[in-house]
Structure 1
Amino acid sequence: MKIKEYRTQFIEELTPIYDAGEAESFFYLILEEKHQLKRIDLALHPDLVFSEEEIAVWNSILEPLQQEIPIQYLLGKTSFYGLDFEVNENVLIPRPETEELVEWIIKSNLKIEKFKNLKILDIGTGSGCIAISLAKNLPNAQVYAIDVSEKALATAKKNAAINEVNVTFVNQNILGTEDLQQQFDIIVSNPPYVRNLEKEEIKKNVLDNEPHLALFVEDNDALIFYKKIAELAQKNLLPNGQLYFEINQYLGKEMVDLLEKLNFATIELRKDIYGNDRMIKGSDQF
């Protein structure tokens, strides 16, 4: 079968579940991963064909896509901040909003990092996307990363090797931590922040497949991780240190109030590209 013909069939099979543009993007992601072919290659060579064996492979990916299993898990990889990351059911799939947080940290510290070996801690690292991206783009920094899940850390360690960076990984439950034992210039975290009451807003492919441990918090204690991490930052940030969070879009004011109560003098709340309150920075708390 010609690849162009299969593409039409593939998209038609998925459009009851996904919109046509998303279904088409899936097709080209798989085409590049499995055949090292891009959209332009298909345009230039419209007579390219799939063998019966290749169609069988494609159909084996199509079926779980119809069950709304994320394509990143099916391919076992994703891209984040221009880097390749292995992903699986033990880690969240990195989001574009988190790339914005990483960009903020890098731009704020690129000049500083040239003159100082920054110490950075990423709490709840998951796939390692934040820690590894920072280590790659702030190469003089010493980067540490904590996660409660040993399986997530195993994936993060693989990703550090893939991207050729040094990150010190620690298996640790941050809620049970009284002191971080070291001082840091930057502490960053994208902790669980989706309240159970917001589950109906979560897409089925996320709700049914991504680790709930990394997603959800109780409705009556939605800031549990933020409060704990901010309190630790009070003890373990160096003078002029910086605390960064990715946050629940509905709790921007609550996050500002929390950092004010903990005496962070300079607080900046930022929106993401979709106009949602998504990240916050606290500094100069001493």
Structure 2
Amino acid sequence: MKLRELEEYYQLELAPVYHAEEGAAMFGLAAEQVLGLSPLKLRMEKENVLSDINLQKMLTILNELKMHKPIQHILGQAHFYGAVYKVTEDVLIPRPETEELVDWVVNDYSTHKELNILDIGTGSGCIPISLKRHLPAAKVGSIDISEKALIVARENAHTLNAGIEFIHADILEYDTEEKFDIITSNPPYIRNLEKKAMHQNVLDHEPHTALFVPDENPLLFYKSIADFAKKTLNNSGVVYFEINEYLGKETVDMLMKRGFSNVELRKDMQGKDRMIKASL
């Protein structure tokens, strides 16, 4: 079978499960890992015939995709902010909107040297590791309630040569005397009422403790992190959040009521309210 024919077969077989663009993207990721083809090479070599072994590998991936398993879990990795991260079902799959949050911090602090950064709810480690890689002089720490997630995060930090202090703790109870210049977090923020709009592969394969919050208290973690930040941020310290696109105003109001100023709500590339920056 030619690559072109296999790509068409992927899109046909995945049509009941994914949009055409999603199917094409998954084929590209599979071809990159199994066949070693970059997106450019994939376009140039579409008339090449696959070996039986590689064809079987690609079809095995296709079968798993049809069962709603995320491509990142099938391949065991995800791309994020210029690096490749190991992912398992114990961590959230890093997403493009979180790259935008990281980019905001990196651009704001690219000329700063002495920084103490804490990331809360680290998952795969993609936020703190990216910050350490692009702000190498900074001291970066990271908290997560999941020991299994921290195993993945530590492995990613080791692979990417990023010196991170990982702490196993629940931010709803955690306390420290340490002071920080920056606190970042992408905490759980999806209300249970929003589950019905979510893709089955997320519901079946990503950790619910990292995704969902009670309908009656959707800002649970933001309130706790804001209170923690008030005690631990330096005078010029800043907090950066990824947020629920439907709760931008509510999150801004909560931060202002807690004494934060210069609260900036920013949209992501899809035009959704997705990030907040605030200082004391």
Q: Report TM bin, short chain.
A: over 0.9
Secondary structure (helix, strand or coil) at the match of 1:208 reads: helix
Q: How many residues align?
A: 280
> CA shift at 1:61, angstroms?
0.9
Q: Deviation string for 1:220-251 (max 9, x for gaps)?
A: 11111111111011110011001111111111
8 A Cα contact 2:34 2:57, kept in partner: no
Note if contact 1:150-1:171 (Cα within 8 Å) is conserved in structure 2.
yes
Between the aligned residues of both structures, percent identity stands at 50
- So what's the TM-score if we normalise by structure 2? 0.95
Aligned match of 1:201:
197
Look up the match of 2:163: 166
Instruction: Tell me the SS of whatever aligns to 2:78.
Output: strand
Mapped to 2, the partners of 1:273 and 1:86 lie a distance apart of 25
Indicate whether 1:155 and 2:146 are aligned. Answer: no
Q: Structure 1 counterpart of 2:165, which letter?
A: T
Match of 2:29 in 1: 29
CA distance in 2, matches of 1:214, 1:183: 25
Partner of 2:265: 269
Q: Structure 1: how far apart are the matches of 2:46 and 2:227?
A: 60
Residue 211 of structure 2 corresponds to residue 215 of structure 1: yes
Is the Cα contact below 8 Å between 2:35 and 2:54 reproduced in 1?
no
Please say if residues 87 and 93 of structure 1, whose CA atoms lie closer than 8 Å, have aligned partners that are also in contact: yes
Cα offsets for 1:109-165 (capped at 9, x unmatched)? 112x23xx1000000000011100100000100000000001100111111112111
Please give the per-residue CA displacement for 1:79-100, whole angstroms capped at 9, x wherever unaligned.
1111111111000011111111
Q: Does 1:10 align with 2:10?
A: yes
Query: Would the alpha carbon gap of residues 56 and 233 (structure 1) be closer, same or farther in structure 2, given more than 3 Å must change?
Result: same
Q: Distance in 2 between matches of 1:190 and 1:17?
A: 27
Matched with 1:224 is 220
Unaligned runs of 5+ in 1: none
Aligned residue for 1:237? 233
Q: Deviations over 1:31-71 (max 9, x none)?
A: 11111123443554455222322222222111110011110
Q: CA RMSD in A?
A: 1.4
Structure 2 portions without partners, runs of 5+: none
2:173 is the alignment partner of 1:176: yes
